Structures are given as structure tokens and as C-alpha cells.
Structure 1
Amino acid sequence: MTDPLLRLYPAAYRAAYGQEIVDVHREMTADMPRAARLRADADLAAHAVRVRLGLDSASRAGRFFALAAPFALAAGAVDSGLHLTRWYAGLVRSPAPVWVQLSTMDGARAAYLLLSLLVCLGAVIALTGRWLPGAAMAVCGLLGTAVQWVAATPSPGEGAVAPVTAALLTAAVVLSCPPDRRGDKQLSTAAGVMAAAAWFPVVVVDTGAFGVTTDYGAWPMLVLALTGAVLAVRARSSGLRELGAMAMASSPLVAHAYTDAWLELRPVLGLFLLLPVAAALTACFQAVRRRR
């Protein structure tokens, strides 16, 4: 079984490491039961595909997605969390009894809320130390959300393109993280702080405690951009890699802003300036810092 799996690797990689891979795999799986051997074969095939796509931990792309993945999870949780809290606020404010509202809720709405809850719980579990089950839960929620949007609004003109694209991109970023770089404690902590800072003030505004009625999704994007800038300053880098990772993770927030702005492009286009502006300011700060 090892030889067919070995062919999944690029030719140059096989020539350099092929025999070593075969020897290690055979030694490791020699005394394994059939089920465990199949899992080991699947891991080897997954690694081969990652190497072929340039997404292994040794590649630049692999390290980039390892940086972006926790923030993609956090951004997905912010989007889903805002949907859940706004639904709950409407439930509490309504003069109708809660049990009446829940009993008359249609199945599609209930499924969407459950999928959003799955994304939030998965992100929390992944960012607090159990990456694999948490990320799997969040990805299932994201893919379920995408399927539901397609089923409910089959016409692209009805606003389904943005949330479907965001859900699929977020799932792809999370799955692209190399296995041996998952669950980095510092990045997970930063992503969790970012999610809390992006979510809580918007919820407070939605309660009517302030005169602001909407921010068109600007606040969560601003928090994401500032997080990238802080990571760049701490790493003493130019900021291009960190802000690029934040841009890769931002699709749920962009989609949320688009739907919040009643599918108007102009407020959302302004949000795209936040990341390049943050990158430019970070690069200027680092240049001044080096001259001192």
C-alpha cells in the first residue's frame, strides 16, 4: 500500500525522501491492527497531497495558512455569534411569549441558528486547546451554512453569494493549516482576544445603549486589522505577511458587513482599505524603529 501512496508525492520529493518515507511507514505500521493501519495510510496520503500543493509546514504557504487559520476561525465565530445574539435580542424584546416564538420558528431558521452555534462552539474548543475536534465542528457548521444558503436562495442575485463564498473560504483556510502547526497557543490566544473585542462592542451597540445604530461592519474589521499590526510589530516584520493572513481570514466579516449594509457595495469597499492602510502604517513604524 505504501508504493501507491508514495506516488502522490512530487517526483523530486520522492527522489529525495521516498525510501526514508517507505521504511518509516512500514516500521510504524508493522504491528498495527487494520483500522489503525488505514488511518496511518490516510495520514500519509494527506501529507503527500499537502506537499504537492505546497501546504506542508516547511513551505512558505503552509506557514502562512498556519498564521491565518486561527483568525479565520475567530472571524467565523464573530459572524455567527453576532447572528445568534441579534436573534436572541429580538426574541427577548418581542412582546410575544418566548415559547410561542420558538414553536412558530420555521425549520430553516432553526437549522441556521444551530449551525451558527456549531461554528461558535467549534471555534471556542479549537482556540482553547483542542484544535482537531473544534476545527472539525466549526468546519461542519460552515459547510452546513453554505449548503443551507444555496438551498434557500438558489438565485445568486438574492444575496447568497457573499455568505456562501465566505463560509467556503473560511473552511478552506482552516483545513489548509498544516497538522503540526495547529493549535499554536500564542496565536490561539490572540485570535480569541480578537474575537471577543470584535464581538462584544457590537452586541452592546445593538442593545441600544449608544446612539449608534450600525457600523456597517467596520468595527470587527478594524479589530482584525489592528491585531495583524500588533502581531507584525511584535515579530519586527514589515507587516505584509501578518496583514495578508488577516485579509485571508476576513471573509466572514466582509460578508457580514455586506449583508449589514443591505447588499450595498460602497460601505463594504471602504473596509478593504483598513488592511492595506494598517500594513502601510506598520511598515512605516518598523522603518522608523530600525533607524533609532
Structure 2
Amino acid sequence: MIERLLVLYPSGYRAAYGREIADTYREMTAGLSHGARLREGADLAAHALRVRSGLGSADPLGRFLASAAPFALAAAAVIAGIRLTRWCAGVVASPTPVWLSLRTLDGVGALSLLCSLLVCVGAIVALTGRWAAGTAAAVSGLAGTGVLGLSAEWLYEGGGLVPVTAVLTIAVVLACPPDLRPGEGASAAAGAMGGAAWLPVAAVEAGAVDGVSTEYGAWPLLALTVTGIVLALRARSSGLRETGAMLVASPPLAAHALAGAWYDSEPIAVLVLVLPVVTVLAMAVRARRRAR
């Protein structure tokens, strides 16, 4: 079995570390059950594919996606939280009793709420220290949301963009190398961004703030943009990594903003372009510094 697994590694990596990997695998699986050996083999195959695709913890792309993963998860949770808040606000405002609203909820609607809840709970669990369990729940919720978006576009704001953003977010979260899971600092920053993006919208949706509209949907995207800038200033860096990570994490929030302003999308389009423009400027500054 180990010989077949080693073929998954690039030839150079296999020549340098193949014997060591094989010996370690045999030592770890000696005396284990067939199921346990299969799990170890699956982990080894995943590592091989990460090495081949440049997504290992030693690769620049792997490290970059690890920095973006907590913010992508938080961004997905913000949108899921807004969906749940709107549903709850509608139920509370309706003269229909809550129990009757729940009883008359159709299957598609119930699945949508369940998927949104999975994303929110999963993100909270992941960002508070249990990354593997939390991301498993959040990815399941995102996958369900994407499938529902394909089969029932009317269900979600943004329609056809929902499956696309779900797939992009899942890819970023799963691409995070297992040995580069977010630390307390990154998790706290992502959690703070998520709270700052969701809470004002939730207050408006719940009717706690009068005279304010969320029809443009730009606030969550603005919160993510500002987070990238603040992180770059704190790190005293060129901002390339920070704004790039926010750009990779932004699809759910960008789709939400564009869907909320489909009739007058120019202000949102300008905001959506802020992250790419800042990233390009950061790249130019970094290139100029290296030239010196």
C-alpha cells in the first residue's frame, strides 16, 4: 500500500524523502486495524497531494491560504448569520405565532436555515480553538447552501452567485495546511471582523435602529476591507499578504453587496474594487523596495 501512496508525491520529493516516509508509515501502522491503516493512508495521500499542488506548510501558497482561511470562514458566517437574522426578524414581526411559522416551514426553507446554522456554529467552534470540528460543520453547511442555491435560486439573495461563493470559500478553508491552523491572534481578528460585520446589520434588521437602511449591503465588505488595512498597519508590512488574504476571503461578502444593490451597483462596484487595487499597490510598493 505504501508504495502506491508514494507515487502520489512529486518525483524529487519522493527521491529525497520516500524511504523515510515509508519507514515512518510502517512503524505507525504496525499492529493497527485495517480501518486505522486506511485512515493513515488517507492522511498520507492528502499530504502527498498538498506537496504536489504547492499547498503544504512549507510552500508560499499554503502559508498564504492559511492566513486567509479564518477570514473566509468568518465571512461565510457573516452572510449565514444575516440570513438567520432576517428570518428570525420576519417571524417575530409576523402576527403568526412562532410555533406555527416553524410548523409551516417547507423542507427547502428548513434545510436552508439548518445549513446557515451549521456555518455559523462551525465558524464559532473553529475560531475558538477546535478548527477541525468547526470547519467540518461549516463546510457541510456551505456545501448544502451551494446545492440549494443551484436548485432554488429564489431562496437566496444573489441567486447563481451563492454556489460559486460556497465553492470558493470551501476551497480556501480546506486548503489551509493542517499544521498551520490559525492561532489565537488570527482567530480573534477574524472573529472580531465577523462580529463587526454582522452586528450592525442584525441591529438594523431587528428594527433596533431607526432611519437606517441596509439595502446596499456594503457594510460587511467594508468591515473586511478595513480589517486588512488595520492588520497591515499593525504588522508594518507592505500590506500585500494582508489585503491579498482579505481579497481571497471576500467572495461571500462581495456577492452579498452586489446582490443588495443590483439596481444601483456603481457604489458597490467601487468598494469591491478597493481590495484588488490596494493589493496591486502593495505589490508595486514591495517590488520598488526590493529594487532598492
TM-score, normalization: structure 1?
A: 0.90
Partner of 2:194: 195
Q: Which residues in structure 2 correspond to 1:60-209 (within 5 Å)?
A: 60-153=60-153, 159-208=158-207, 209=209
Which letter maps to 1:201? P
> Does structure 2 conserve the Cα–Cα contact (< 8 Å) formed by 1:229 and 1:279?
no
- Taking only the aligned residue pairs, the percentage that are identical comes to 58
The Cα of 1:202 is off from its aligned counterpart by 1.2
> Does structure 2 conserve the Cα–Cα contact (< 8 Å) formed by 1:159 and 1:263?
no
Partner of 2:289: none
> Does structure 2 conserve the Cα–Cα contact (< 8 Å) formed by 1:225 and 1:278?
no
Partner of 2:290: none
The Cα of 1:76 is off from its aligned counterpart by 0.4
Partner of 1:238: 238
Which letter maps to 2:225? A
Which letter maps to 2:211? G
Q: 1:20 to 1:168 in 2, by over 3 A?
A: same
Partner of 1:290: none
Q: How many residue pairs were aligned?
A: 283
Three-state SS of the structure 2 residue aligned to 1:272 is helix
Quick one: distance in 2 between partners of 1:213 and 1:277? 28
The Cα of 1:236 is off from its aligned counterpart by 2.3
> Does structure 1 conserve the Cα–Cα contact (< 8 Å) formed by 2:139 and 2:170?
yes
Q: 1:58 to 1:267 in 2, by over 3 A?
A: same
Unaligned runs of 5+ in 2: 287-292
The Cα of 1:281 is off from its aligned counterpart by 8.4
> Does structure 2 conserve the Cα–Cα contact (< 8 Å) formed by 1:69 and 1:177?
yes
Partner of 1:210: 210
The Cα of 1:45 is off from its aligned counterpart by 0.3
Which letter maps to 2:179? D
Unaligned runs of 5+ in 1: 287-292
Quick one: distance in 1 between partners of 2:17 and 2:263? 51
Quick one: distance in 2 between partners of 1:108 and 1:213? 28
Which letter maps to 1:108? V
Quick one: distance in 1 between partners of 2:263 and 2:106? 24
The Cα of 1:153 is off from its aligned counterpart by 3.6
The Cα of 1:88 is off from its aligned counterpart by 0.5
Partner of 2:261: 261
Which stretch of the first structure deviates more once superposed, 241-250 or 26-35?
Answer: 26-35
Quick one: distance in 1 between partners of 2:42 and 2:263? 42
Q: 1:36 to 1:260 in 2, by over 3 A?
A: same
Three-state SS of the structure 2 residue aligned to 1:232 is helix
TM-score, normalization: structure 2?
A: 0.90
Which stretch of the first structure deviates more once superposed, 270-279 or 139-148?
Answer: 270-279
Quick one: distance in 2 between partners of 1:272 and 1:262? 13
Partner of 2:219: 219
Deviations 1:29-82 (A, max 9, x none): 123222221111111000000001100000000001100100011000000000
Which stretch of the first structure deviates more once superposed, 205-214 or 168-177?
Answer: 205-214
Which letter maps to 2:184? K
